Each structure stands twice: as C-alpha cells, then as structure tokens.
Amino acid sequence: MKNEITEKAKNILKKHGIQPSVQRIKILEYLLINRTHPSADEIYRSLCAELPTLSKTTVYNTIETLVEKGIVKPLNIDSRELRVDAIIEPHAHFRCMECGKIYDVEIEMPDYINKKVGDGHLVKAQDLYLEGICNSCLKKNEKK
C-alpha cells in the first residue's frame, strides 16, 4: 500500500513537470493519505521526525508549487490558516465551529462552472463551505 502511494505521488509530480525529491514525494504522500485538510504546520509536524532535514519553508514552497500546478487546492474555510485539499474536483466542506476540524461532506453540489450568474458573471471555480457542529462534538455535548 505504502509503495503504491509513493509511486502514485512520484507519477503525479513527474506528470506535472515537478522534480520528485524525497521531501516533495513525502508531502504529497501525506496529502493523499491524510484527508484531513492539513495546514503546512500540521504537515511539517507530522513529517519532521521522518525527515529531519525538512524545513517549514520547504513545506510551504512545495504546497505553493502543488497549488500552482493544480495538484492540490487551497482551502480558505479557516481564516486563521491556509489548508490544502488533495481532492481538486468540486465538493463541499464542513468546518466544525467547536473542534475546528474540516470534513468533506457528501451533498449534491450545484454546478455553476462555465455558467453565467447574477448580472452575467462567468463562473470558473466554485467551492461550498458549511459551518456548524460536527457529529463528534454533538455527541460530546449530549453526554454533558
């Protein structure tokens, strides 16, 4: 399984013209495996023991490159920090107002891509962000 993810990460990087360094492969692997919409700091903290030479700058630069190449997309659902998502197709996100976790949610997404809205504005990208209280926090609150 791990080797498959490593090969997948290498192939994605090569396909997009990015030199597959050890750090870039590990960062992309992390994003492919951990669907937690992590911040750069979370990625760094998770990988620094495995890659002692990894710097926060490398993580930020790699994320910037992955975003520029369309491999991952930035999430602006949390105003305190940039998070990234390895799923680039349009889908909805839910942010818990209590624990701060961000989840992908399966709901029917309206498709406005390449359609005109309002006074003739052409939509080129869309995101749906929902906020509330997640199932885990609701259960904790019920026990109190």
Domains and CATH numbers, the chain: 2-75 (1.10.10.10), 89-143 (3.30.1490)
Q: Which residues pair with 104 in a beta bridge?
A: 93
Q: What is the pLDDT of residue 139?
A: 92
Whether the predicted pLDDT of 1 surpasses 70? no
CB 73 within 8 A of CB 63: no
| Per-residue model confidence (pLDDT) at position 53 | 94
Q: Which of 18, 22, 19 is nearest to 52 (CA)?
A: 22
| DSSP-based three-state secondary structure for 107 | coil
* Residue 109 pLDDT greater than 90, yes or no: no
Q: What is the mean pLDDT of residues 19-36?
A: 94
Q: What is the pTM for the complete model shown? A: 0.82
DSSP letter at 64? H
Asked if residue 41 has pLDDT above 70, the reply is yes
Cβ–Cβ under 8 Å, residues 102 and 37: yes
**Cβ pair 109, 92 in contact under 8 A:** yes
